[in-house]
Structure formats: structure tokens, C-alpha cells
Chains A and B, each alone.
Chain A
Amino acid sequence: MNQLILIFVLLLLSLAAYQMGRRRAYGLVDGQLRKLHSLPVYYGLYAAMWCLLPALLVLIAWTAFDGAIISHLVVGQLPESLHGADAGSINLLLNDIRNVRMGLVPPESADPVVVAAAQHWDHLQRIGYAALAVVVLILAVLGAIFTLTRIHPQQRARNAVERLVLVMMMAAASVAVLTTVGIVLSVLFESILFFRLVPVTEFLFGTSWSPQMAMRADQVGSSGAFGAVPIFVGTALISAIAMVVAVPIGLLSAIYLSEYAAPAFRSVAKPLLEVLAGIPTVVYGVFAVLVVAPAIRSWGMSLGLDVASESALAAGLVMGVMIIPFVSSLSDDVINAVPQSLRDGAYALGATPSETTRKVVLPAALPGIVGSIMLAISRAIGETMIVVMAAGLSANLSFNPLESVTTVTVQIVTLLTGDQEFDSPKTLAAFALGLLLFLVTLGLNVIALRVVNKYREQYE
């Protein structure tokens, strides 16, 4: 909260700097604006930027790292007996300290060491805040004074401001790149740690997956198995079911909407299909669990089939419904991009509309359609909530859609929710799966986007 107050004060200060800068520039030339290099606004902005930005950077840097610094200091201050303790017990201790500080545990019932550490923590934090406030305010005031005193009519304030704005815009654009780098690095590091414990070949080609590691070494069943093939098969099975639902329905509705439908029908049906795309995936998950899975189960029982309550069919079916609008809107774009002249040529030869569509338009649009199907597959592989809710947890190596299978995303969620220590093979396995998921979807996307773009240019 203190940071928010500081930011507010900083904003006020920079507003003041802006006003003073503007007034000063205006006053320097007695209101004869053509003697100024830039409009007075720019002098004000220049001052405000120097007032705000350095201080803000310091503030952000501190806020990002204060927790780590303070916890390091507190751990260093702990009594001798605790030095050299392993990371796990230090983490537990830090958690206790946090609980005391947050008031979740009354100080009377806690370990005195923890209470002392908690007080030490609060003390350090107060010092930190005070120091931060002083540094930030001094920086802001210095920045404002520095720029305000240097204002003169020939100063190229506009150029300076514009350069800074440009740099800021560039930084904003590179956030996307940073995100990608961040994703790659964060999952890569944890995956490398994981592959030190479990060989890559076992992970990629092993057929048994049971990541439940025992807490103690002597416990029964302490050796986890990390062969991910059953997970890959499960993911492939559910995605395949989803595509069997989504591709025909999505493609046929796109064809109907773009080649046959009257404009009035199109203007109603297309937004309705898009509603399907706007529904959150968790809602599809609930739908799968409450409606589709019981329906499939009772239908299977009436046929004398044994259907698991978390069957791959239910999850795949609902996922397919979710992907329909995705396939249909992408294919719609692709089909619309086919030039009318191709259709006219076919009609002139006496082809019926369906013959034109099947033998002329679809072959012409095929690369684009393939691209959009690849995008849809990548969507299906990465989809999380539907499978977390409707698919199973146990890794069965099975191609039977009526059985319960698990997927990559389900495993990531189950491995990472719940209280785990961060460097156990269990949580690291989740990052290895995440890396794989990222690479596969990225590969599919890159190829698909390239295909779609290449195809688009062909007719432009």
C-alpha cells in the first residue's frame, strides 16, 4: 500500500513539474510563442518526465526485489542453530514467519524464534519503506529542479520528449519478445533440472507415468515413474476426438455461410457461432461434467458398454464444440479469399454450386484450410479447463475413447496445484511438460501461420 501512496505523490509532483515547466517556458518569452523552439507543453512534459521516470524505476525495482532481499537478511539473522539447515526447512520457517506477520497465527502460540524473526522482518520492512520514500522523493525533486532550471527558449524540448516517447513505445513493443524469452527461459531452466533427475529418453519414451513421489525415502512406492507416453497418447486421443467433431461441423458451416446462406441468415448465424467462441472454457468444463459425461455414460450402459465416468469421449466432444467457431471463422476467411472469378469460371462451365465448391473453391482454399486446422489442433492440445474437469487423472495407455485418459495440461495442473516444494521432481516434471507443450504448439502455429499467409498472398 505504501508504494501506491508513493506513486500518487510522484504523480502529483510530476504534475506540478509539468505546470511549472510550462509556465516557465511561457514566461521566458513573455508569451511570444514563436520565440520558443517548442510549444510550452513540451517544456512541461520534459520536466514532468524527468521528475517521474527515474523515481518510478527505482520504486519498481525495489518493489520487485524487496521480498527476496529482506528474506535473505532475515535468514542471515536467524540463530546459529539454524544455520546450514536445508532449503526445505528454511522455507517452512519463512512460511511460519509470514503467517505470524500476517496475523494468521497469534504471536503467543508461535515459536519465539519465529516471532523474533517476524519482528525483525517488520523492522527491516519499515526501514526499507522509509529509505525508499526518501530516495524516491529526492530523485523526483532533483529531476524536476535539474530540468526546470535549464529551460531556455532554444532548448529542443519537443525533440527530447518525442525521443523518449519513441523509446517507451519501443519498450512496450518489446514486451512481447520479453514474454517469449521469459516463457522459454523459465520452463527451460526447470526442465533442465528435471532432466538431470530423469533422463530425457525415459521421459519421452517411457510408458509408465506415476509422479507420486513419497516424502521420505524409505516409504513404499517412493520411486516415481516419469514416462510421458501415456500422457501424449491421451492428449492425442482427446484432440483427435475434438477434431472429428470440430472439423466437419466447422468447415461445413463455413462453406454454407460463405457460399449458400442469404445475407440475413448469415448475419444471425455467424454471431451466434461466435458466441460459442466467447464462452469461457471453464463453462464448457462444467457442461462436460454435468451434462455430457452422464449422458454418454447412460447411453453406453444402455448399449451394454462400460464407460468410464471421465471418458475421453466426453472431454473430446465438448472440446470439439468449443473449437467449432475457431475452425469455421478461420475457414470462412480462407474461403472468402478465393477470388470470385474462379467460381464464375466454374459456373460458366455448367457446374452446380456444390460442384464448384467441392472441385474449385475447396482445392484452391486447401492450404489455408489445412493451416486453420493446424491452428485448431494446437488450440486443442493446449486447452486446459475442459480436460482438467472432464478428463481423468490416471495415465492409462489406451486408445479407447470410452476409457479415462489424461492429458499434458491436466498433468501440469495437478502437479502444480497443491502444496509442493518447488524443486521436487514432481513440480519440475510439470515444467518439462510445459516446455514440450510450448514447443509443440509453437511449431504448429509457426507452420500454420506461414501456410495461411503464403496462401493469402497468392491471391492478393
Chain B
Amino acid sequence: MSNQTLPLPRPVDVINTGLGRRRAAERRFRLYGVAAITLALIFLVLLFISIIGKGYTAFWQTQIQMEATLAPELLDIADPADRNQVMAANYGAVMKAALRQAFPEVSGRAEQRQLFALVSSGAEDVLRQRLLDDPSLLGQTVSLWVPAGSDIDMVRKGHIDRSLPESERRVSDQELAWMDELAQQGRIEQRFNWNFLTGGDSRSPEQAGIWGAVVGSFLTLAVTMLLSFPLGAAAAVYLEEFAPKNRLTDIIEVNINNLAAVPSIVFGLLGLAVFINIFGLPRSAPLVGGLVLTLMTLPTIIIAGRAALKSVPPSIREAALGVGASPLQTVTNHVLPLAMPGILTGMIIGMARALGETAPLLMIGMVAFIVDVPKGIFDPATALPVQIYLWADSPELGFAERTSAAIMVLLVFLLSMNALAVILRRRFERRW
């Protein structure tokens, strides 16, 4: 009998021989987990570093000091008291004269064109504003700081590599020489770029600002909030507190859960087909954007609202009903106030999602190039994420830093909204 000739190994030996292998497997498995989390966090850090690294320079702007003579004959102003004339005057000619005066040795058309590109066309606005503020300056020579052209700006910020051979860089040696001359005279400076925060969009990168997009986003979100908060809260209360358990309620519930997972672009299609083509609402308007985003965020808000209502203990309801409150009074006077922080938290999270949403807005035409800051919910507007998309699509180098800077602004808004939600939850969360 083989059993007797070969004694069985003791179980503990079997276990011990495999132990090293099993411990190694254990360590490996842990390592995989750590590696996965590290990898995800590396992506996160990389994302932030690349955005901030590319974007922070957009908050500074290169400015050049110019001596400009506001000659009436150049400006074509006959009557300085006439505001329209001052508005429409030829400031470009004055700027060109000032540049020629600063670099008198420049001749030839091609070289002059390069010279004129030293300052941004926004310089004309600076001049105009100066003259509008003080009409007595007409005919005098003023010294003022004007924004530099985008290429010069890029060189100063190090986005264009000076060590490259001339044929491979956007800026010629000549332009660099002018720039260095100005720098030696202390006439070039980096200043805080207020225009980026307060200006509208522009075709020239050095003049483009995000204020128009911020206002557009704000108007869109205002519409979204005004509609989705009452609708979401009412729907949540109905489904959680009043709805009879029947087929219809089931359908609504399944519907809401599925709607929360429908791709956002489909909501854009709905907005295009219904709000714009059937109701004839204006394209590109924050009103339509707000309506679409309302439909998109409603499921999120309803689900969060229901969770908040569910967390209010039944004893509260029973006590209120016990002293004679009607079911609706119970809800409005007792349950709802207790659930409000939770509902608000869900609301803010829904709004944060709506703020970052781009795709449905593309569908309803909020991608137009719009310079003016929108004044109402019927004006054509764009939104912050759409502005980011538009700038990211632009080939000019100057828009790359603006894209990243606009993302920084968007992320600041999003982070503060989420922080608000967290604070709200911490502050008012009750354990029963």
C-alpha cells in the first residue's frame, strides 16, 4: 500500500512552503492598488501643473511706453467738442506716427509693417479713452503705456524661443532688436492684465478677455438655478413624500435614474429641436442654454433631494401629524427645513456640473464669436467652457496661454462651489 510507504506531508509544512509565494502575491496586490491610485493622482497633478504652468502668464501683459502726439490733422478731428468725432478719429495714424518717431531709422513697407505690429491694435482704444477723458490733450504729446503686440508679448513671456534661428520663429531679429532697445530704455514692462478679466472676446489674442464669457455663464446658470431649484425640490418632495406606489410612479423613478445617465449632447439635440426650432427662441441665448441645462441637471437635483428627504427620520413626520398638521404642512414646516441643507448641497453640485458643461451649449449655437458682453438672457452669449473650447481651437500662440488661464478661472469657480457644498454639508449635517 502506497499510503503506508509514503507518509503524508504534515499540513503545516504544505502551508509553510507556499507561504513565501502567498506573501509575495499579497505584497504585489497591494502594490497594484497603490500604483493605481498613484497613477490617477499623477494624472491629476500633471493636469494641474500643465494648465497652471501654461496659463499663469496670461494674467500679465507686456506694455510699451509710447510718446504719442495727438495731432488734430492726423486724428481727423475738426471739432474737439463733438464726441462722435473723437470716438471715430483715426488713432491708428497717431500710433504709427509715434512708432516712426521712436524708431526714425525704419524705412520700407515691409519693415514698417513689422514696426507697427510692435503694439497691439488695442493701443488705439487706450488713446481714445485718454482723449475722451481729457479733451484738452488734443494737439499735445502724451506719454502712455499701451499693450504690446501678441508676438512681442509671447517673446517677453518666454513662449517664443529666442535661441531658434530666425527662419523658425515667428518674430524676426529686427523686431527683437527693437524690443531690446525699448527694454534698455525701460519702456517695456509686464503689468497685471486687467483686460483679460474685464474684456470681451477678440480676434487678437492680446486683447481677448473672459468677462463676456463669465457673464454669459452667469446668466445661463441663473436661468438654470431659477428653474431647476423649484422644479427639482418639488419633484423630490412629491416622489419621496406623496407619490402613491403605483406604475406611474415607478415609470417616473426609472425615468429619472436613466435621464441622469443620458449623454449631455442629447440634451443639446433636444434644445435645438424643441426650444429653437419649435418655440422659435433665439439661438445662442443664455435663456435656451439655461433651459437645456435645467433639463440636464434636474435628475441630479431630484436624486440628491430625495436622499436628503429620506434622511429625515419618520418620527418628525409622525410628531407633526400627531399634533394635527396636514401632510403638506408636515412637509413644508418640518421635513423640508430639515432636508434643506442636503437639497441645497445637491443643487450646488448640479450647478457646478452645469457650469462645466459644454457639449449641449455647442448644439444650441452658443459657440458664436461674440465680442459684446451680453446684457440679458435674450442676447447672444457664450459661456466660459465654450470660450475655452473656442480659444483652444485658435491657432495663434497667444490664445494657448489664454485657454489655460480661462481654465484656471473656471476651476476657481468650480472649486469654490464645491467647497461651499462641502461646508454646507459639514455645517448642517445632522445625525439622528
A136 within 8 A of B: no
Which residues of chain A (125-182) have a CB below 8 Å from chain B? 158, 162, 165-166, 168-170, 172-177, 179-180, 182
A332 to B277, CA, bound (A): 43
CB distance from B401 to the nearest CB of A (A): 11
Question: Are A187 and B37 neighbours in the complex by a CB distance under 8 Å?
Answer: no
Q: Find chain A residues with CB under 8 A from B234 CB.
A: 168-169, 172-173
A211 to B33, CA, bound (A): 46
**Most B CB atoms within 10 A — which of A170, A285, A385?**
A385
* Minimal Cβ-Cβ distance residue in B for A284: B47
A165 to B36, CA, bound (A): 51
Known: A176-B252, A287-B47. A383 touches B263 (CB 8 A): yes
CB distance from B196 to the nearest CB of A (A): 17
Question: Are A286 and B261 neighbours in the complex by a CB distance under 8 Å?
Answer: no
Known: A169-B238, A280-B385. A253 touches B36 (CB 8 A): yes
Q: Find chain A residues with CB under 8 A from B385 CB.
A: 280, 282, 385
Q: Find chain B residues with CB under 8 A from A353 CB.
A: 26
Question: Are A354 and B29 neighbours in the complex by a CB distance under 8 Å?
Answer: yes
Question: Are A176 and B269 neighbours in the complex by a CB distance under 8 Å?
Answer: no
A358 to B40, CA, bound (A): 22
Interface with B: A297-305, A392-400, A412-420, which one? A412-420
Question: Are B261 and A417 neighbours in the complex by a CB distance under 8 Å?
Answer: no
Question: Are B239 and A413 neighbours in the complex by a CB distance under 8 Å?
Answer: no
A237 to B60, CA, bound (A): 42
A328 to B230, CA, bound (A): 32
A249 within 8 A of B: yes
Interface residues on B, range: 35 or more
A166 to B30, CA, bound (A): 54
CB distance from A256 to the nearest CB of B (A): 3
Q: Find chain B residues with CB under 8 A from A250 CB.
A: 36, 40
A248 to B36, CA, bound (A): 8
Q: Find chain B residues with CB under 8 A from A282 CB.
A: 356, 358, 385-386, 388-389, 392
A438 to B365, CA, bound (A): 21
B15 within 8 A of A: yes
* Minimal Cβ-Cβ distance residue in A for B34: A256
Question: Are A276 and B43 neighbours in the complex by a CB distance under 8 Å?
Answer: yes
B77 within 8 A of A: no
B295 within 8 A of A: yes
Question: Are B358 and A280 neighbours in the complex by a CB distance under 8 Å?
Answer: yes
Q: Find chain B residues with CB under 8 A from A65 CB.
A: 279-280
A78 to B393, CA, bound (A): 42
Question: Are B26 and A352 neighbours in the complex by a CB distance under 8 Å?
Answer: yes
Known: A175-B235, A248-B36, A382-B262. A286 touches B404 (CB 8 A): yes
A96 within 8 A of B: no
B81 within 8 A of A: no
B237 within 8 A of A: yes
Q: Find chain A residues with CB under 8 A from B43 CB.
A: 276, 321, 324
Question: Are A289 and B392 neighbours in the complex by a CB distance under 8 Å?
Answer: yes
A347 within 8 A of B: no
Candidates B22, B40, B298, B362; contact of A276 at CB < 8 Å: B40
Question: Are B259 and A169 neighbours in the complex by a CB distance under 8 Å?
Answer: no
**Most A CB atoms within 10 A — which of B26, B29, B235, B376?**
B29
CB distance from B430 to the nearest CB of A (A): 21
Bitwise interface map of B from 353 to 388 toward A, beta carbon under 8 Å scored 1, else 0: 001111100110101000000001010000001101
- Cross-chain pairs A/B with CB under 8 angstroms, 7 sampled: A65-B280, A273-B40, A280-B410, A282-B386, A282-B392, A379-B261, A446-B258
Interface residues of A (CB under 8 A from B): 1, 64-65, 67-68, 71, 158, 162, 165-166, 168-170, 172-177, 179-180, 182-183, 186-187, 189-190, 248-253, 255-257, 260, 269, 272-273, 275-276, 278-287, 289-291, 321, 324-325, 328, 350, 352-355, 357-358, 375, 378-379, 381-385, 388-389, 409, 412-413, 416-417, 422, 430-431, 434, 437-438, 441-442, 445-446, 449
